Chain A
Amino acid sequence: MNGRILDGAWALLLILGVLVAVAFISLCVMRLALEAHERVDARRRDEVREIFFALMMGEPDEREAARAELIGRSGRRWALAEDQAFRMLPKIAGDSRATLRELLMSRDSGVRAERRTRSRSGVRRCRGAHRLGALGQSRHVELLLPLLGDRDFLVRRTTVRALAHIGDPAAVGPLLQIAPDSRMTRDLTTALGRIGFEGAPTLREALARSFGDSAPMSPDELSRAQVATSVLGLIEDIGAIDLLCRILHADAPALRLGAAESLGQIGSPDAVPALVAATTADDPALRTAAARALGQIGAPEAADGLRIAIENPQRDTARAAGRALIRLGEPGLLVLAESSAPVAVEALAVTRLRNSR
């Protein structure tokens, strides 16, 4: 009986050993195959990259030969070339980019990308949106806008980035609509910043509408207003100064704070009176942000206004005022010297120490 059990155990051990050996060999073979595939892929990419370099930067005869080679490609060979072209497109500018884009358009890459945006697969929709963005054609904006409402978060985010690449101001309004999704805030702000000045009128209009409404802002409206406020600062929109100064009195603390920060980024002395007034506001965070913004603007006329802020019992506000006064140069240093506030003494000492080095 015992002998039979022992035989069975040995047999089981043997089977297990064989299975482990087979699994190990299979893994080794798979790894080798993968490495070989990667090597072949890298070599093919190197080859096609060189062809693109010749197309973009070669002598006229090299350009012609490269174009003929790329136009003549089909099936998987063209898919590889197309993939490589889309990888390079966002990395270059000028004539080279135009050449690459022109080749892709002539090979109907835009049409294929558009088709992908309608795919059932989220990955394909992402890729379609990314490629439409890389092509940078304003006519693709209309195709991309519905994807801002896609069920897949990654598709929505890729679409935001694609619209940023295209940079058409027609996308500003629809982009603002997705501001309530906080996961999107960073991409959205970058995208709107990239669209730049041309989008400023739409941002100002949306902000004025939300702020001008007598009814309290809904959370969604507040999110949109916050993003618009932040982008107007990012693009340093001088036309938004009056509106942002009014927003310093908004009910929502986050919006007031955003307005102060944006006014600092814009850096115009026109905002000094409103910011000086905000340094005595009830909200301590606003007082601090306003003092910091005055330092960023660096206008000497802010020195007198900061005289009160440096005496503020709230240390953050007083320190921000101290730093701002240092940034104002001579007029600010004079105010610090005249003040007996501990923060003023500290700020002056630090400045002297720095200057002595």
Chain B
Amino acid sequence: MARIVIADDDVDIRKLVAFRLRRAGHDAVVCADGGEAIEACTLERPDLILLDVMMPGMSGLDVARIIRRDESLSGVPIIILTARAQESDIEHGFEAGADDYIVKPFSPRELVLRVDAVMARGRS
């Protein structure tokens, strides 16, 4: 079981992701914006972070950059959830420190597979 922080300002998406990940045996911590996500990451010490790009206040990319600069969190895998599938958007995600990206709309089943794959990669 892994502890996963989910940050998305869309209540439907964050609850859906949390539901699916809990069903897959993970512990999900949900946040509605970037600030909450930073706080949750500091407190919860997650095994993986799922970040929406467009959030009020601090964007997911900003959160990723901050996490990558934090010594204690810099090794935590980050998956970016984005509605923008342009090559440059994905590039920005990786530049900010993401390990993988999932384009919205996404299949909940695929999401779990990607989460597991990123965590397996992190362990190896």
Contacts and interface: CB of A to CB of B under 8 A. Distances in A.
Given A53-B15, A53-B19, A87-B12, A95 B105 contact: no
A66 B19 CA distance: 15
A57 B20 contact: yes
Contact of B23 (A57, A90, A93): A57
A92 B109 contact: no
A94 B10 contact: no
A164 to B, nearest CB: 13
A316 B104 CA distance: 38
Interface in B1-55: 10, 12-13, 15-16, 19-20, 23
Nearest to A53: B19
Contact of B109 (A58, A87, A94): A94
B19 A93 contact: no
Interface in B88-123: 104-110
27 contacts: A46-B15, A49-B12, A53-B15, A53-B19, A53-B20, A56-B108, A57-B19, A57-B108, A58-B23, A88-B16, A91-B10, A91-B16, A91-B104, A92-B16, A92-B107, A92-B108, A93-B106, A93-B110, A94-B106, A94-B107, A94-B108, A94-B109, A95-B107, A95-B109, A96-B109, A97-B105, A97-B107
A97 B10 CA distance: 17
B82 to A, nearest CB: 13
Band of interface residues on B:
10 to 19
Contact of A53 (B16, B105, B110): B16
B19 A96 contact: no
Nearest to A97: B105
Contacts of B13: 91
Contact of B106 (A50, A53, A57, A92): A92
Given A53-B20, A91-B104, 14 more contacts: A46-B15, A53-B16, A56-B108, A57-B108, A88-B12, A91-B10, A92-B16, A92-B105, A92-B107, A94-B107, A94-B109, A94-B110, A95-B107, A96-B108
Contacts of A49: 12, 15
Contacts of B12: 49, 87-88, 91
A249 B12 CA distance: 50
Interface in A78-131: 87-88, 90-97
B65 to A, nearest CB: 19
Interface residues of A, number: 17
A90 B16 CA distance: 13
A50 B107 CA distance: 17
Contacts of B23: 57-58
Contacts of A93: 105-107, 110
Contacts of B109: 94-96
Q: Which 9 A-B pairs have the closest CB atoms?
A: A94-B107, A93-B105, A53-B19, A93-B107, A88-B12, A92-B105, A96-B108, A91-B105, A57-B20
A88 B14 CA distance: 12
Nearest to B24: A57
Contacts of B15: 46, 49, 53
A53 B13 CA distance: 11
B107 to A, nearest CB: 3
Contacts of A94: 106-110
Contacts of A57: 19-20, 23, 108
Nearest to B105: A93
B13 to A, nearest CB: 6
Contacts of A88: 12, 16
Interface in A32-51: 46, 49-50
A250 B108 CA distance: 48
B105 A90 contact: yes
A93 B109 CA distance: 9
Contacts of B108: 56-57, 92, 94, 96
A46 B110 CA distance: 24
